[in-house]
Amino acid sequence: MSGFSGALDIAQAIRDGKMSAREAAQQALARVAALDPKLNAFTLVTSERALAEAAAIDAKRARGDTLPPLAGVPYAVKNLYDIAGVTTLAGSKIEAAKPPAARDATAVASLHKAGAVLVGALNMDEYAYGFVTENAHYGATRNPHDPSRICGGSSGGSAAAVASGMVPLALGSDTNGSIRVPAALCGIFGLKPTYGRLSRAGAFPFAASLDHVGPFARSVADLAACYDALQGPDERDPVCRQGPAEPATPELARGVKDLRVAVAGGYFAPENAELREVLMRAAKALKAARTVEIPEAARARAAAFLITAAEGGALHLPALKTRAAEFDPAVRDRLIAGALVPSAWVIAAQRFRSWYRDQVLALFQESDIILAPCAPGPAPKIGQESMELAGAKVNIRANLGIYTQPLSFIGLPVVAAPIAQAEKLPLGIQIIAAPWREALALRAAYALEQEGIAAAPIPTL
């Protein structure tokens, strides 16, 4: 078994007795020890828990029990997920003094039930308010494709941990693009499911109206397997969908012949020539027949921005009153300003969200899948403040989410897919489906992967 196997390969090898869960966990821990000093993705390594979970899987197999789908698969989580016995940081210094979590977040408990083995917690922008993972308290996480560059954010540690091969699976969260942007910049797959699909209970909130959780992986099959393991109703999250899981894995290989694929034009037409080229390559492979205009996307982004600022500011108001100096300076002033936003702006943004949702849903009458760029270009350098966009110099932190924010705003499911490019920094696209149709987006991603158009090769560090 190579050191860099995928999740399902590892689970199969353990099931077949070719390796033990203990060996898989030890290999993952060894990779973290060797690679993480170069990347700074992990803020905590949970060796003891990993070895205990692995031992339980090995004992199960020894008894002859049927192993669960992700038995022995190592994974790690953004450090905003509750891990029983560990203090949840959410990228902050303030939370570090709080007591440890009494129980696992629902997503962590689900992966435990599916047999996966937790090896640690991962770096992020403080309180998830950022796209760069240059954290003032815990340092910048580096991009495995070029450690002088950012890995994106806010789930940057999650993307770097998977892209570098340290783990085959990781969990992140996405409010405005925080799974999709780092997936694109690190060249891996990410899934931001429909708003309400996966339970967020025990994941530190940011802007509750827009918060989603989701997985990262280096293959579509692994991504779907993790997503399937995370599904199910949860009383602990008021937004979480009732009703049974709708597994995507059985759908993956159904092909795309019957899917009507469109490309988003206008606002979503990429300025970056290479990005335009990779988007067209994916569109051609999926036989995209039309261009669609997502109306008022810039206004949608503005509305998402307002809701995020206000909800984030209100959430952190108590600490902003008493401990403002302990926040990451990159986050603090935005949260304070957000706490002061007049309510009429936020309510107008929520009403606009309803109007915009109806407009966008109408587009799915004629298309099953809409393709759009993901991040606006390759990963910027660590510490870089501005980048070129549409011939103008713009602020990086404010603009990495231009293509992602108008879609999470109405909770559409999106697969971020890395488009293969030899010898170049990764670029990704968004594969967007109608609400609750994650399986269609995953099918399209799987088709691109089968054709060699989407791929997540591990860089040599």
Positions in the binding site for other proteins (CB under 8 A): 194-196, 209, 239, 241, 243, 296, 298-299, 302-303, 305-306, 309, 317, 320-321, 324-325, 329, 332-334, 336-341, 344-345, 347-355, 357, 411, 435-436
Residue 119's nearest CA partner among 255, 191, 22 is 22
Question: Which H helix or E strand runs over 433?
Answer: strand 427-433
Q: Based on CB atoms, which residue is closest to other proteins, 75 or 352?
A: 352
Give yes or no: 78 in active site: yes
- Residues 5, 110, 164, 178: which is the catalytic one? 178
CA distance 182 to 430: 12
Instruction: Say which amino acid occupies 322.
Output: T
- Residues 5, 20, 78, 199: which is the catalytic one? 78
Q: Based on CB atoms, which residue is closest to other proteins, 52 or 347?
A: 347
Q: Is the alpha carbon torsion for 150, 151, 157, 160 positive or negative? A: negative
Q: How far is the CB of 172 from other proteins (least distance, A)?
A: 21
Q: How far is the CB of 278 from other proteins (least distance, A)?
A: 30
Tokens matching residue 37: 């000093």
Q: How far is the CB of 214 from other proteins (least distance, A)?
A: 16
Residue pair 273/280 in contact (Cβ under 8 Å)? The answer is no
Residue with tokens 């988003």: 264
Q: Based on CB atoms, which residue is closest to other proteins, 145 or 316?
A: 316
Q: How far is the CB of 217 from other proteins (least distance, A)?
A: 25
Which own/partner contact pairs does 96-103 have at CB distance under 8 Å and 24+ positions apart? 101/202, 103/202
Q: Based on CB atoms, which residue is closest to other proteins, 71 or 339?
A: 339
Q: Based on CB atoms, which residue is closest to other proteins, 122 or 203?
A: 203
Question: Which H helix or E strand runs over 372?
Answer: strand 369-373
Q: Based on CB atoms, which residue is closest to other proteins, 17 or 329?
A: 329
**Phi, psi for 95 (deg, rounded to 5):** -70, -20
Residue 232's nearest CA partner among 109, 127, 51 is 109
Q: How far is the CB of 192 from other proteins (least distance, A)?
A: 14
Q: How far is the CB of 111 from other proteins (least distance, A)?
A: 23
CA distance 170 to 153: 14
Give yes or no: 154 in active site: yes
Give yes or no: 199 in active site: no
Q: Is the alpha carbon torsion for 52, 49, 227, 189 positive or negative? A: negative
Residue 14's nearest CA partner among 29, 1, 32, 31 is 1
Q: Which residues are known to be catalytic?
A: 78, 154, 178
